[in-house]
Amino acid sequence: MINVGLDIGSQFVKTVVLKDRINVATCVDKLGSGSIETLVFDNYITALQKAGIEEKNVDYTVATGIGREFIGFADIQISEILCSTRGVNWLPPPTGFFLDMGMEKAIVVKNHDGKPFQSFRNDRCASGTGRYLDIAAKPLGLSVEEMGEVSLKSTKEISISSNCAVFAESEIISLIHQKEKTEDIVRAIFKSMASKVHSLILKMGNVKNLTMIGGFAKNVGLVKAIELEAGCEVIVPSIIDPQLVTALGAALIGSENEKTTASL
């Protein structure tokens, strides 16, 4: 049984290929200009090629993510929250909660046996999302990916007083002019973001540990900041790239589909 999950986000498309519910291939591509369906299809084919599977042998394809409505070749389109919860539920160790942080969103979800039972999202503000890191990285001359390791070298705690991502950029520039060290500034940025995430976790109630998924889960500095602010253990999946968990969940849901099981 071959099931494919496609997660089309605001910046990346992610594909997971399952063979008999075992992960055999993944593919992540950055979305650029051009038809989104074409880009996604190319990503999908690349993943299949990695797995040595022909497209005609795919049993069921599930598309999810904010761009899923453009993917006509998928068998079904399913909401992101269902797919990400399903994906998280499959990962060891089991946790009752997860944080999905992307470019445009930060969401904390309560996982009840693979079903979402409650969720809290960042409000319309960018300051708790990946977008904030994007804005903050520029004046520091760092890539977002570099920021994580850099922050671990920090020895001084400073804070950013602006709650708004746009005004925080001015503040960061001021800190640079005041000759504050890059690593200390980066740590302050992560602390500010972590505080917003902390609030979402608090809304959920008593959370001792949670799984973090999405691309920003790979940022060690951010993960550490969230653990410190929220006082809870943040588990980053090790058996699969955290950015792929939602696509994994989509593929898993596809594997439970009637059509698929009927074909067994």
Partner 1 sequence: MEEKFQTLIHSNDPENRNKWALEWKEQGHKVIGLLDIYVPEEIISAAGLLPWRITGTWDAAVPRAAVHRPSMTCRYCTHVLESFMNGDLDFVDGLVTTQIDDDFKRLYDVLNYIDKPGFLHIMYLPHTTSKTTLDMWKKSVNSFKEAIETYSGNKIDPDELQRQVLIYNKMRALLREVYELRKREVPALTGAEALGLTSAARIMPRELFNEQLEQLIPYLNERKIEKSDGKPRIFMGGEWLDHPGYVRLVENAGATVVMDEFDTGSQYFWDIVYDTSDDLLGALAKRYMMRPGLSRMAQWEMQANRNLAWMNEFNADGVVELRSLYSLPLDYRYLFMRKIYDNNNIFYLSLNREYHLSGQGMLQTRIEAFLEMVERKSRATSV
Partner 2 sequence: MKVQENAGLIYIKHEIATCERRIKRIKENPDPSKPQSNILLYEMERDFRIEQREACKTGKPVGIASMGGLTRAMGMVPWDAIMSADRTHGKAATQYFETIRKEGIPEHTCDRCSILIPMVQQGDFPKPQFTFMSNFECIPVLFAHAALCHTMDIPSFNIDIPIKSFKMDNDEEGLAYVVEQLREMVAYIEKTVPGTKYNEELLVELQEYDRQFLLEFRKLWKLKATIPCPLSGRESFREIRLPSMYPDPAKAVDYMRLYLKEIEERVEKGFSAAQPEEKLRLLWSVAGPFYDDPFSWLEQRGVSIPAAEMTVYNGWFSGREAMWGDPWPGRKLTPLEEEARQMDFVWGREGHYWVDTHLHSCRDLHLDGIIYFQQWGCPTSNSLGKVIADTAEKELGIPTLLIEGRMLESSMFDKKDFYGRLEEFTEICAAKKANRQTSP
117 binds partner 2 (CB under 8 A): yes
Nearer to partner 2, 84 or 151 (CB): 84
The least distance separating partner 2 from the CB of residue 135, rounded to whole angstroms, comes to 17
Residue type, 13: V
66 binds partner 2 (CB under 8 A): yes
123 binds partner 2 (CB under 8 A): yes
Helices 182-204 and 144-151, axial angle in degrees (round to 10) = 100
Site string for partner 1, 129-168 (x = CB under 8 A): ------------------------------xxxxx---x-
CB 114 within 8 A of CB 95: no
159 interacts with, out of partner 1, partner 2, none, CB within 5 to 8 A per kind: partner 1
The least distance separating partner 2 from the CB of residue 117, rounded to whole angstroms, comes to 6
Nearer to partner 1, 65 or 128 (CB): 128
155 interacts with, out of partner 2, partner 1, none, CB within 5 to 8 A per kind: none
Helices (H), the chain: 36-51, 80-90, 130-140, 144-151, 165-177, 182-204, 220-230, 245-255, 258-262
Residue 78 zone, left/alpha/beta (φ > 0; ψ -120 to 50; rest) = beta
Which residues make beta-bridge pairs with 19? 2, 22
Structure tokens, 51? 């797995």
38 interacts with, out of partner 2, partner 1, none, CB within 5 to 8 A per kind: none
The least distance separating partner 1 from the CB of residue 147, rounded to whole angstroms, comes to 19
The least distance separating partner 1 from the CB of residue 127, rounded to whole angstroms, comes to 9
The least distance separating partner 2 from the CB of residue 67, rounded to whole angstroms, comes to 10
Structure tokens, 19? 């063979």
Nearer to partner 1, 123 or 233 (CB): 123
Q: Quick count: other Cβ atoms within 10 Å of Cβ 158?
A: 14
User: Contacts with partner 1: how many residues (CB under 8 A)?
Assistant: 20
Which CA distances in Å does 99 have to 1, 59, 207, 208?
A: 30, 30, 11, 13
203 binds partner 2 (CB under 8 A): yes
- Within positions 185 to 244, which residues make up the interface with partner 1, using CB under 8 A? 191-192, 195-196, 198-199, 202-203, 229
DSSP labels, 166-234: HHHHHHHHHHHHTT--HHHHHHHHHHHHHHHHHHHHHHH---SEEEEESGGGG-HHHHHHHHHHHTSEE
Nearer to partner 2, 115 or 156 (CB): 115
Q: Which residues bind partner 2 (CB under 8 A)?
A: 66, 79-82, 104-105, 107, 112, 115-121, 123-124, 203
